[in-house]
Structure 1
Amino acid sequence: MPLTRHSLIDAAAARFGWRRAYDTTTQVDALLTEQSETAYREAADHATLATAKNTTILAVQPGVLDVRGRLLADVLYLEGVLAGARTHGLASELIQRLEDAVTHGHELTVLLADTVRATTAAHTNSGT
């Protein structure tokens, strides 16, 4: 089935809260490639908007807060996935990779929180 047809099926399923599982690495690799291409295509727009918008220290803060909030929610979701994988005795390699992703995700939320704090500290110190 062509990737575009998969995308339509996936989009329709997502509207009902369903997620599709892929059973071959070829399918997974195609989906990962599509996700990356979409993200990088949209990144140019994000960079242009961010450059125009983030002109002061405090202007940076809301975007970073938004990213941290979404990431934290996703990391907590992954913790649930990890708990389920452990409970059901799924493959140890999968569990290890989930543990690594959860740990890294929590580390990233801490870095983003520090970044938000830096915006207020820099604002206070610069007086802008």
Structure 2
Amino acid sequence: MPFAHRSLIEAAAARFGWRRAYGDTTKVDGLLNEQTQTAYTQAADHARLATAKNCTALHIQPGVLDVRGRVLADVLYLEGVLTGARNRNLDPELVALLEEAVDQGHELAVLLADTARTTAALAKAGD
């Protein structure tokens, strides 16, 4: 099934709280590769637009704040997944990987917050 079509079906299912699980690593790897290809295809457009649009540090701030908000929300969701995995005594390797993902997600949220503060400080210094 084409990625766009599957994404539409999965988006509709997600509205009802349903998520598809894959019991085959080949299918997971295929989905991960599709996600990566899609992201890198979009990244070329983002870089071009950002170069044209982001001419000062303050111009960067809204995008950084948006990303930080999404990252933080996703990390907090993963914390819930981690808590559930711990409470259900799931495989220790899985729990350890979730812990690492949560820790790195929090670190990313902190770095993005620092970046947003820096954009404001640089704008104020330029006054």
Give the alignment's TM-score, normalised by structure 2: 0.91
Shift of residue 16, structure 1, vs aligned partner: 3.0
Alignment-mate amino acid for residue 66 of structure 1: D
Shift of residue 108, structure 1, vs aligned partner: 0.6
Shift of residue 106, structure 1, vs aligned partner: 0.3
Give 1:70-109 correspondences, 5 Å limit.
70-109=70-109
1:43 and 2:19 equivalent?
Answer: no
Alignment-mate amino acid for residue 78 of structure 2: L
Aligned length: 126
1:16 and 2:30 equivalent?
Answer: no
Q: 2:63 is matched with which residue?
A: 63
Q: 1:119 is matched with which residue?
A: 119
RMSD: 1.5
Deviates more, 1:44-53 or 1:89-98: 44-53
- Verify the 8 A CA contact 1:71 1:109 in the aligned structure 2: yes
SS of the aligned residue for 1:81 comes to helix
Q: What is the rounded CA distance, in whole Å, between the counterparts of 2:79 and 2:2 in structure 1?
A: 30
Q: What is the rounded CA distance, in whole Å, between the counterparts of 1:72 and 1:46 in structure 2?
A: 21
Q: 1:15 to 1:26 in 2, by over 3 A?
A: same
Deviates more, 1:72-81 or 1:4-13: 4-13
Q: Give 5+ residue unaligned stretches, structure 2.
A: none
Deviations 1:4-28 (A, max 9, x none): 4654543442343311000011010
Alignment-mate amino acid for residue 105 of structure 2: G
Seq. identity, %: 66
